[in-house]
Amino acid sequence: MKYCSRCGGAITRNIPPGDTRERYVCTQCGEVFYENPRMIVGSVPEWEERLLLCRRAIEPRLGLWTLPAGFLENGETTAEGAGRESEEEVGAPVTIGPPLILVNLPRIHQIHLFYLGRLEKLPSSPGHETLETGLFTETDLPWTELAFPSVRLTIEYYFQKRRERRGFPFHIHDLRIERTLQPVAK
C-alpha cells in the first residue's frame, strides 16, 4: 500500500492517536486504512454415507482436494456464502445445515467457517474452479492430497463426530500455521 485510495497522497505506517497498533495512514489527508481478517465460508457436503470433495482447478494447491469454500462477500450471510460457494465449486445445489466448525488462522488473517451440507443431486459437471468432484468414505479419502490444513482438520472432526454418533457440536479450533502453506501428508 503506497498511495491513499481517497486522495492519492503518500501512505505511511504509524499509530493513530487513541489507537494501539500501526496502521496505513495518508500523509496528505490523514485517512486511516484498517486491515482486518477475512472470512472463508464453505460446507462439508454429504451424499448418503459419503463426503463430496473438489479437486482444485486453480492455484493455490492446483490438483489437490478440498471442501467447497470461498471468501464471504459483502451483502450475504455466512450460510448464503457457504451455499453459493458450494454450488459454484461442486456444480450442483448443496443445502446448508448447521455450522460445524470455525477455524482461526491468525497468521494468514483468515477465519474459515464450515457448515454441514447435503448434496441435493450428483453434479454432472463441476464449476470452473474444480477439475473433478469425488465422493469418499473416511477410508478411501485422498488424505495425502488434501489442499489445506483447515480442510484436513474439518474433515477429521466431521468423521470423528460421525463415528461417535452423538451429533455435531459446533467447535472452534485455532491453527497457528505459517503463511506459506504446504500440502499436508497424513
Q: Contact residues for a copy of itself (CB under 8 A)?
A: 1-8, 11, 18, 21, 33-39, 71-80, 99, 102, 104, 106-107, 109, 111, 128, 170, 172, 174
CA distance 91 to 166: 31
Nearest distance from C-beta of residue 162 to a copy of itself, angstroms: 19
| Residue closer to a copy of itself (CB basis): 2 or 163 | 2
Cell numbers describing residue 67: 471442501
Nearest distance from C-beta of residue 21 to a copy of itself, angstroms: 7
CA distance 102 to 114: 6
| Residue closer to a copy of itself (CB basis): 8 or 16 | 8
Nearest distance from C-beta of residue 50 to a copy of itself, angstroms: 26
User: What φ, ψ does residue 139 adopt, rounded to 5°?
Assistant: -80, -35
| Residue closer to a copy of itself (CB basis): 51 or 100 | 100
| Residue closer to a copy of itself (CB basis): 47 or 126 | 126
Is 64:135 a contact under the CB 8 Å cutoff? no
The one-letter amino acid code at 151 reads V
Is 90:45 a contact under the CB 8 Å cutoff? yes
